Chains A and B, each alone.
Chain A
Amino acid sequence: MKILNQFKMELLARSSNESFSRVAVAAFVSQLDPTIEEISDIKTAVSEAVTNCIVHAYKEQLGYIYITVRILQGNKVSIKIKDKGCGIADIKQAMEPLFTTAGGERAGLGFAVMQSFMDKIYVKSQVGKGTTVIFHKQLKSR
């Protein structure tokens, strides 16, 4: 699929960057003139994926989060969020609603929110190497 525009950033997995990362992605996507609902959906999915990097992937050591946003032909957006953290042993289990290894007040709904708010989500992971999450969203033509 033809890439019309692309934006990449890498940032330290600090919780203070959660807000910045979702706002930066939303600002880039805004060139497609999305609806308020579409922007909220994108910000929420990005926030979930970035939070997973911080809470899970880099639980033991601080590392970088790599985000690539692509504007594709036909008003489509693709967002890739990658870490080089601990990886997920059982992706199917990690994606189950309410499953969490974090304890405390993590609801275990991160992947459920991403699945619900995006059209497609792909998760690739290798223990000890890291995790890549890719979302696709078709925006309404305006």
Chain B
Amino acid sequence: MQCRIESSGNIITAYLDGEIDHHTAKDVREKIDAQIMAQSPELLVLDFRDVTFMDSSGIGLVMGRYKQMQLLSGQLHISNLSPHIKKVMQLAGMDRLATIKN
């Protein structure tokens, strides 16, 4: 699992790459949170284009970042979901918390 982070202005975009499960979620979470702490963005975008697998650990990851962004009165967008990842997100009701793009 890789995570490349780009930041411009008040926006942080995290490009997730690989498989998200309980084993891999922790490192990604720490990397994203360090950037949120450093920058206090208005918008966090989690890009799932290159995510090949996700279980409910991914939901924990998204929910946790949603809470972080709420503390900053910011927003969370999740983008480029495959049909499978969309199914897991919808099961958890994430589509009601974050804005899903594409």
**Pairs across A and B, CB under 8 Å, 29 listed:** A15-B21, A15-B23, A18-B22, A19-B21, A19-B23, A22-B53, A36-B84, A37-B83, A37-B84, A40-B53, A40-B84, A44-B88, A47-B21, A51-B21, A51-B56, A54-B22, A105-B29, A105-B57, A105-B60, A105-B63, A106-B57, A107-B60, A107-B63, A109-B59, A109-B91, A109-B92, A112-B91, A112-B92, A113-B56
Task: Please count how many residues in chain A sit with their CB below 8 Å of the partner chain's CB atoms.
Answer: 24
Contacts of A40 in B (CB 8 A): 53, 84
Does B55 have its Cβ within 8 Å of any Cβ on chain A? Answer: yes
B58-102 vs A, CB cutoff 8 Å, 1 = contact: the mask equals 011101100000000000000000011000100110000000000
Contacts of B59 in A (CB 8 A): 107, 109
Measuring CB to CB, which residues of chain A are less than 8 angstroms from any residue of chain B?
Answer: 15-16, 18-19, 22, 36-37, 40, 43-44, 47-48, 51, 54-55, 104-107, 109-110, 112-113, 116
CB distance from B56 to the nearest CB of A (A): 4
Does B17 have its Cβ within 8 Å of any Cβ on chain A? Answer: no
A107→B56 contact, CB < 8 A: yes
CA of A105 to CA of B29, assembled, Å? 10
Do A55 and B23 contact each other (CB < 8 Å), given the known contacts A37-B84, A105-B63? no
A47→B25 contact, CB < 8 A: no
CA of A18 to CA of B24, assembled, Å? 10
Contacts of B42 in A (CB 8 A): none
B56→A109 contact, CB < 8 A: yes
B92→A107 contact, CB < 8 A: yes
A18→B63 contact, CB < 8 A: no
A44 and chain B: residue at smallest CB distance: B55
CA of A19 to CA of B52, assembled, Å? 12
Contacts of B61 in A (CB 8 A): 105
A116 and chain B: residue at smallest CB distance: B91
Does B19 have its Cβ within 8 Å of any Cβ on chain A? Answer: yes
Seed contacts A47-B53, A109-B91, A116-B91; 5 additional CB < 8 Å A-B pairs: A15-B23, A36-B84, A40-B53, A44-B53, A106-B60
